[in-house]
């Protein structure tokens, strides 16, 4: 039996509100009818097979894509019309790290610091926290995939965003690297988070609400504590 959607009641003010969110690529539907509310400071984990619409959802919330139908509000601002008010308050960590490989790590973070009006002391702090201080003046193209991912984490949190959008954030990290970035992107940071994951146990453990997508459509929506791994597994069959 396929998983069924459940309503999720949100008492606290919502940081993210979606109603009937729909996005297409040509004739292919990438998202259809996604409706939910995520309280400020809470974590939403999004499950689903490749092509289910997880990354599309993050890109809409990051103001990189426009929906074709439905509404989306982030921190009280309607997208896409008020995207300008959202961009400085959202940090995106996608499959693509969004760093310049011909620049050094320090140059990358200083570039983004100037865009966001962030003090350069913050750059040095983050280089140290993600374990890149000693390699900060090496070009990024000399880095391992895990090092690039740690730099991408530093870029995503550089401007201290209220909302973090994390697309399988630990996929390229070894245990030591994951431990380094955990204080920056983990639940203890207090930020509102939307995380995509293929790890049922790990994803549910750090989330407040779980959303399951299949072919762009919501197949499951429930408090994470009421979902088990078998229900997540059903999304992939």
Q: Kindly provide the residue ranges of all beta strands, DSSP E only, lying in the chain, ordered along the sequence.
A: 14-25, 28-39, 43-47, 69-74, 77-79, 90-93, 163-167, 192-196, 209-214, 217-223
- Residue 118: its pLDDT value, please? 96
Domains annotated on the chain, with CATH: 42-56+88-234 (3.40.50.300)
pLDDT in tens, 95-112: 899 999 999 999 999 999
Given this model, what pLDDT does residue 213 score?
A: 97
State the burial class of residue 190 (Cβ atoms within 10 Å of its Cβ: 0-12, 13-18, 19+). exposed
Q: What percent of the chain has pLDDT over 70?
A: 95
Question: Average pLDDT of the chain?
Answer: 94
Lowest mean pLDDT among 10-24, 61-75, 90-104, 123-137: 10-24
pLDDT at 15: 97
Any long-range contacts for 52-55 (C-beta under 8 Å, 24+ apart)? 52/213, 52/214, 52/215, 52/216, 52/235, 53/23, 53/213, 53/215, 53/216, 54/167, 54/196, 54/213, 55/94, 55/95, 55/167, 55/196
Q: What is the pLDDT of residues 57-92, one digit of tens each?
A: 999 999 999 999 999 999 999 999 999 999 999 999
With a cut of 80, say whether residue 11 has pLDDT above it. Answer: no
With cut-offs at 50, 70 and 90, classify the pLDDT of residue 1. very low
Indicate if the pLDDT at residue 2 is higher than 60.
no
């Amino acid at each position: 039996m396929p998983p069924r959607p459940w309503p999720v009641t949100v008492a606290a003010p919502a940081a993210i509100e979606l109603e009937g969110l729909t996005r297409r690529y040509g004739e292919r539907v990438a998202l259809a009818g996604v409706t939910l509310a995520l309280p400020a400071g809470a974590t939403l984990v999004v499950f689903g097979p490749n092509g289910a619409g997880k990354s599309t959802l993050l890109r809409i919330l990051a103001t990189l894509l426009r929906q074709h139908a439905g509404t989306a509000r982030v921190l009280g601002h309607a997208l896409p019309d008020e995207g300008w008010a959202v961009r400085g308050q959202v940090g995106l960590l996608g499959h693509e790290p969004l760093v310049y490989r011909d620049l050094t790590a320090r140059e990358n973070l200083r570039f983004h610091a100037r865009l966001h009006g962030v003090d350069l002391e913050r750059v040095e702090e983050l280089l140290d926290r993600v374990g890149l201080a000693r390699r900060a003046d090496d070009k990024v193209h000399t880095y391992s995939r895990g090092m690039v991912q740690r730099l991408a984490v530093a870029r995503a949190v550089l401007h201290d965003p209220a909302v973090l959008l994390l697309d399988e954030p630990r996929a390229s990290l070894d245990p030591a690297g994951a431990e380094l970035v955990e204080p920056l992107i983990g639940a203890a940071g207090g930020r509102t988070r939307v995380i995509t994951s293929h790890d049922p146990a790990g994803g549910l453990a750090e989330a407040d609400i779980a959303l399951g997508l299949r072919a762009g459509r919501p197949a499951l929506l429930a408090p994470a504590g009421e979902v088990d791994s078998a229900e997540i597994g059903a999304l992939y069959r």
